[in-house]
Structure 1
Amino acid sequence: MTLDSVTPVVGRADTRSIAEIDDPELLAALRTGPFSEALRVAIRRSGLALERVQSRLLTRGVRVSLATLSYWQRGRSRPERIESLKAVELLEEVLRLPPNSLLNLLGPRRPRGRWQAGSPRPLTFDRLWTDHWALERVLEEASDRLNEHVTGLTIKDQYWIGADRTERRVVTSQVLRAERDGIDRVVAIFRGDDPDQQIPSVITVQYGELGRVWSDDESGFLVFEILFDRMLDRGETTVVEYEIVFPEGGAVALSSDRRARYPVREYLLQVHFDPAAVPRRVFEFSRHNAQTPDHMRNELLIGRSGMVHSLHSDCVPGVHGISWEW
């Protein structure tokens, strides 16, 4: 089974945060979207006519037609251009919404400009999964920007293998740092090894809460948001932890790994084997991507506790995992 950690979203200072919204309908719309629904509810709750919203945007130096505003709240079009995204930012101010509460619900901006010198270029999904198109199909529905403004400082994955040699659960802990103001969530990607196994439906989040969830039964990809318990400014850190419980009846497990798009300061992978199902041999491995052979492979010894681990300091993008032979 594989994991990949991802996504943030960004903002400015404002008078209200998500936690300060006491309107259940508005809160639900901002939490789960889609953008059109959140905008429609926010305008209605503000008591402002569409013409008044347009006028207040104009006083702030942005001209948006009534037709465009109407299309946005009906879902017929979405803000994409830089000028439109600026208008959305000002809409949050006009409607007294938390910073980035609308922007976070929009899809990824088209790439513009060049990478800054020294910025790590993430691995593309086709380098991490051979059937990357299935993941991209799910991400189109999720429509979030991935790994743009958050840094994974430490990541710890713990897998439990049952007496039947199948994966029972995984617990992931992450220490994350915001690289811009207004970061309030990440998106995690999960994919089981057995395409015939039911996608996990039990996801428990600590130090935050579960946001939107998307899945693709055909490929087995599961994508979900983790909402931080508070919004982060640049340089601030947070800890998130989540547990995924696997349905019964899965295939015999042979490995566990993480697909890393970005560098991570430290990555720790632990696998706990049931005393009734201890493998003959265990190996740690690393690959530059999913299409290349192992460039690092070492045998690991299993202790009396039935646990093995693999530690990666200054972990580079690629595939890092533990495999075993029964």
Structure 2
Amino acid sequence: MQQKLRAAGTPVAAASLSYWQTGRSLPRRASSLRAVDELERLLNLPAGHLSQLLPQRAEDNKRPWDVISKRDLLHDCLERLDLSVARWRGVVNHDHVIIGPQRNEVSITSTQLVHSKIDGMRAFPAIYFQDSLDPVSPSIVAVTNCVVVEQIQVPEEHLVVARLELPRALERGEPSLHAYRIECAPSTVPSHRWERSLAAKHDHLVNTVEFLGDPPTQATGYYKGKAEIAGLPNPEDHRNLESEPLKVSGGIIQQIAPQALSGVHGVSWQW
């Protein structure tokens, strides 16, 4: 069987096959999951017969949007768009935020590298809450390797949720790199922070904030998530905040987080 897997382009060590069979270890990496799919084919088993036996990890059982505010409203929007993050795993997320001369958010370009968890994964969500005192309608446009199929705007909640689709459906374990841009609605509210909520752990997360006018005097990077993991009543409690000072260089702030945990990763600044 090991030779057949190698011939099919999905090599697996004999020891790994033995460990999988006894449960000593489980296939988790994209290459291992492709090998499981090939095993099903070689053994003439229905697609998914072996992979469905793999136990889900704790982070897979977690409600994906628990780390995001206004959960019920967001959940309703995702249901209307027939979207779920359970179909893919985020690997890299880079947000490039543009702050205009009036100190308000102008646009955010998000570039994401994901791996599909299933065969046929094609659609993914884009979500944005804009800071504003008045009802606003931000919008989302495709940039690279995707199209916007539909978007829901909720002006009174300053929210937009979009369904984006890749040019084709992915196979299980297949990676894809795509990008979209959020175009903020006109606002007079000065921006003081940017936050990215992660539903699950990512290999890398980067928040870049670029100021077209005068830069802030100081900046801080932070992570919120411990309170929620511990089951405390208020996950936004700043007593559970991990923070670090960030440099403002050339009108740009960068927060780089390798092995970024699920939760809220943010950058705040003072004018």
Q: Are 1:234 and 2:172 counterparts?
A: yes
Give 1 or 2: higher strand fraction.
2
Q: What does residue range 296-315 of structure 1 map to in structure 2 within 5 Å?
A: 296-303=242-249, 305-315=250-260
Amino acid at match of 1:168: V
Q: What does residue range 274-285 of structure 1 map to in structure 2 within 5 Å?
A: 274=212, 276-285=213-222
Deviation, structure 1 residue 263: 1.1
Query: Counterpart of 2:77?
Result: 138
Change (3 A) 1:202 1:182: closer
SS in 1 for 2:200: coil
Q: Is the 8 A contact 1:203 1:242 kept in 2?
A: yes
Give the Cα–Cα distance (whole angstroms) in 1 for the partners of residues 102 and 95 of structure 2: 21
Q: Are 1:116 and 2:86 counterparts?
A: no
Give the Cα–Cα distance (whole angstroms) in 1 for the partners of residues 265 and 54 of structure 2: 26
Query: Counterpart of 1:316?
Result: 261
Which residue, out of 197, 207, 210, partners 1:259?
197
Give the Cα–Cα distance (whole angstroms) in 1 for the partners of residues 217 and 119 of structure 2: 49
Q: What does residue range 267-278 of structure 1 map to in structure 2 within 5 Å?
A: 267-274=205-212, 276-278=213-215
Change (3 A) 1:189 1:114: farther
Amino acid at match of 2:259: D
SS in 1 for 2:157: coil
Change (3 A) 1:114 1:134: farther
Q: Is the 8 A contact 2:107 2:184 kept in 1?
A: yes
Which residue, out of 116, 122, 128, partners 2:68?
128
SS in 2 for 1:218: helix
Structure 1 gaps of 5+ residues are: 1-112
Q: Is the 8 A contact 1:156 1:268 kept in 2?
A: yes
Amino acid at match of 2:164: I
Q: 1:73-117: per-residue Cα shift (whole Å, max 9, x none)?
A: xxxxxxxxxxxxxxxxxxxxxxxxxxxxxxxxxxxxxxxx99935
Q: 1:266-293: per-residue Cα shift (whole Å, max 9, x none)?
A: 100000012x321111100000054232
Q: Is the 8 A contact 1:161 1:272 kept in 2?
A: yes
Q: What does residue range 1-326 of structure 1 map to in structure 2 within 5 Å?
A: 116-120=55-59, 121-123=61-63, 125-129=65-69, 131-144=70-83, 146-201=84-139, 203-274=141-212, 276-288=213-225, 290-293=235-238, 294-303=240-249, 305-326=250-271
Change (3 A) 1:116 1:268: same
Q: Please provide the CA RMSD for this pair.
A: 2.2
Misfit runs of 4+, over 4 Å? none
Normalized against structure 1, the TM-score is what?
0.60
Structure 2 gaps of 5+ residues are: 1-51, 229-234
Q: Is the 8 A contact 2:81 2:163 kept in 1?
A: no
Change (3 A) 1:256 1:197: farther
Give the Cα–Cα distance (whole angstroms) in 2 for the partners of residues 143 and 184 of structure 1: 12
Deviation, structure 1 residue 193: 1.7
Aligned residue-pair number: 210
SS in 2 for 1:137: helix
Give the Cα–Cα distance (whole angstroms) in 2 for the partners of residues 183 and 176 of structure 1: 11
Q: Which has the higher contact order (CA 8 A, sep 6+)?
A: 1
Q: 1:266-325: per-residue Cα shift (whole Å, max 9, x none)?
A: 100000012x3211111000000542325311111111x211100111111111010011
Amino acid at match of 1:162: G
Change (3 A) 1:287 1:202: closer
Deviation, structure 1 residue 172: 0.4
Q: Is the 8 A contact 2:148 2:163 kept in 1?
A: yes
Change (3 A) 1:195 1:232: farther
Q: Is the 8 A contact 2:132 2:187 kept in 1?
A: no
Change (3 A) 1:291 1:279: same
Q: Is the 8 A contact 1:138 1:215 kept in 2?
A: no
SS in 1 for 2:77: helix
Query: Counterpart of 2:15?
Result: none
Give the Cα–Cα distance (whole angstroms) in 2 for the partners of residues 195 and 136 of structure 1: 23
